[in-house]
């Protein structure tokens, strides 16, 4: 399982735009995913508090871009999201189950 070096977060795929906090994380915390964990080496400095189970951006995400978690599209950015920023309902629009966006969710 590709955990961060300190076990604070989970990122399954190299092309995931987000990682999931496995405990409450404070702003300024540096989360490092080393190459030995099966994913590309990456260090993210958190821009805001991330509650347990919530997502944070592992790279910049443009407004309107599809967002991937665990290798699957989970939604579309409703605003530009900076690396390390909390990714949640305030900046993500769901795409699943929406007939008007059916082609986007694939």
**Res. 6: pLDDT tops 80:** yes
Residue 89, pLDDT score:
87
| Domain hosting residue 17, numbered range | 9-101
Assigned domain for 3 exists: no
SS3 68: strand
Cα 1 to Cα 49: distance, rounded to the nearest angstrom: 24
Residue 36, pLDDT score:
59
Chain Cα centroid distance, residue 31: 12
Closest CA to 90 of 104, 75, 105: 75
Residue 98 banded pLDDT, cuts 50, 70, 90: low
Percent of the residues in the chain that have a pLDDT greater than 90, as a whole number: 71
Residue 40, pLDDT score:
59
Residue 104, pLDDT score:
53
Quick one: tokens of 6?
Answer: 């300190």
Whole-structure pTM value: 0.85
Find residue 70's DSSP bridge partners.
none
User: How many folded domains does the chain comprise?
Assistant: 1
Task: Express each pLDDT in 66-95 by its tens digit.
Answer: 999 999 999 999 999 999 999 998 899 988
Q: What is the DSSP letter of 38?
A: T
Minimum mean pLDDT range among 4-8, 12-16, 26-30, 58-62: 12-16
Find residue 43's DSSP bridge partners.
32
Closest CA to 8 of 38, 41, 46, 35: 46
Q: CA Rg, the chain, in Å?
A: 13
Assigned domain for 106 exists: no
Assigned domain for 41 exists: yes
What's the CATH code of the domain at 13?
Answer: 2.30.130.110
């Amino acid at each position: 399982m590709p955990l961060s070096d300190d076990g604070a977060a989970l990122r399954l795929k190299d092309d995931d735009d987000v990682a999931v906090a496995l405990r409450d994380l404070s702003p300024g915390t540096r989360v490092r995913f080393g190459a030995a964990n099966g994913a590309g080496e990456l260090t993210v400095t958190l821009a805001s508090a991330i509650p347990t189970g919530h997502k944070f951006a592992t790279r910049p995400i443009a407004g309107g871009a599809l967002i991937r978690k665990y290798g699957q599209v989970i939604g579309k950015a409703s605003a530009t999201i900076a690396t390390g920023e909390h990714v949640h309902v305030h900046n993500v629009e769901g795409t699943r189950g929406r007939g008007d966006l059916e082609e986007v969710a694939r």
